[in-house]
Chain A
Amino acid sequence: DDKLLSEPLSHPDFFNVKELFSLKDLFDARVHLGHKKGCRHRFMEPYIFGCRLDQDIIDLDQTMQHLQLALNFTAHIAYRKGIILFISRKRQFCHLIESTARECGEYAHTRYWQGGLLTNAHIQFGPGVRLPDLLIFLNSLNNVFEPHVAIRDAAKMNIPTVGVVDTNCNPCLITYPIPGNDDSPTAMELYCKLFRMTIIRAKDKRRQSEVFSELR
């Protein structure tokens, strides 16, 4: 059992997440498109490649690195049977994200966030709740274009976060930010596909390793 858990940690890319996406896929899904120059957040400037006709272009090389780190992290969490919660406050993609979460066997929250969900969980849900071990933000802002409350709450509760940050978002409190577009349908479908594949892959690998260790 100990070997099961410590073995993936020794490899840099145990689940081989690099092969799931390529630069061309990201470009075709229009992940590099950001918002206009006026909407730019100060802390996103390192991730921005340039500006054309007032529209920011996100640096896809950095996006590749961040995406690889984030997918690797989610795969490890899924391998160790952690609870993953997908969060997005965009009404357009609410259905897509909920179906993705259902197919993975993980959880989603694309509705109005009640204040004490993470911080006041023992009273809201009951004693003995298990909080999520990873939050994945497919849309970092809420409907009023402010940073989602869950980012701050996760930081308070020591829960790691993975988030897609657009040019108008604040990447500060997110542990594994992924600079990229969060408004196009193609980009969202790509992210959902990638997360779904990593989680399913990690879970399958876990089941295989358990079967092997039982056989021995």
Chain B
Amino acid sequence: MDRRTLVLLFLLLVSSSSLGSSSSSTPDIRVLSAERRIDLTSSIVRVFLTLKVENTGASQASDVLLAFPPTEAEHLAMVKASTTEGKRKKKIYVPLSVNPTELPDTPNGAHLFSISLRNPLKTGEAAVLEVLYIVTHCLEPFPVEISQSETQFVYYHDSATLLSPYHVMEQITYIKTPNNKVESYTRVDPTNRAGTELRYGLYHDLPPYSYSPIIVHFENNNPFAVVEELVREVEISHWGNLQVRDHYKLKHAGARHKGIFSRVEYQSRPSISGVSSFKHLLARLPPRVHSVYYRDEIGNISSSHLRIGSQKSELEIEPRYPLFGGWKATFVIGYGLPLQDFLFESPDGKHYLNFSFGCPLLETVVDELTIKVVLPEGSKNPSSVVPFPVNQQLETTYAYLDVVGRTTVVLKKRNLVPEHNIPFQVYYDFSPIFMLAEPLMLVSAVFLFFIACIVYLHIDLSIRKS
């Protein structure tokens, strides 16, 4: 009897523990404290989140989940997580990988991302995670249309409480606006505003997936520069040059401009007229750049300044007209770079190009980016290594002195921010003997001309003998 009850108890324990671990991994973790700092000072919204999580479950936790509402997840450009290691003065940030996941029981279509921890969290242990996520196109201009002499006000939609799959014991949110002019904000007590900082907190002991929507209506005159489409062509020539051509379709994505545009008023009173418009854009180019051109369909645009330095070069461009809300500009920027700065040989004999992904313009969002890397004629086995997911395909381009065409690696990505300007590599096989194909083509063309001369001089075309 005793043995049977013992066996039954044992079976019950085993079954209950297995049930407990398989039912849902989310309640095992508890967020002790969450601090959110939302930076609204630019047209791109950056949120810095510091989470202190504790494992209250029975088993080890190897990942921590983050939840985002569907509207925010649609415009999410980047999620980065890191954890600190080391003592106070020698703190180093170790990046962690973040991947989107799906769980069957998430309410209201929330999107989940899972942060993989380097060392699994044991029961009772706590860890501090720093998360940065960047959202684009989420500042909604209101009023939707403004005239030349009005300033731009935008809505920011968010929640006062952190949307999380776990219980949050303590949380606080700080929102930083670019200036003091906040028209209105939703009050979710306790709320306080001091100058440019808005505080929502301290909230205690909230259940998972708690969401209290807030709207902040504030003035934001930062340039809302959005590149709708950017096509970058990088042409590799083993004779010593890397040619880059960027085709831009630029748009001002803020409050639309209505009424007339008076150039006189714009130039005479710049502090009142056209405060939300922008005239200049800064592009950061690699150090040893040469033959830079800036033109559009009409021709060359001369309003630009180039400063070449030893660490970086800066190109300040001014489109033909200042950009007001809803206005667009299309242009091409091209430049040449020395080959030895970007093309290297890996130990296994493959050549690889090390170039930076992303748009050289500062503080601009790119809706759709296409990078085409044109490899020299005769290259085989192209492959690319990019730190974030992109769409890859292969094409053939024809350029000067081509017979079979050049293999082109095409990489496409949507919704990019300046934090995506990190290097990527394209590997390919190329034997230098193929470089001789070009001069040999020219030599044979000239030789054909000489043969034609000889043939003409040696044949007899006379009708009768002289």
Chains A and B come from one and the same complex: no
The residues of A with any CB-CB pair to B shorter than 8 Å are: none
The residues of B with any CB-CB pair to A shorter than 8 Å are: none
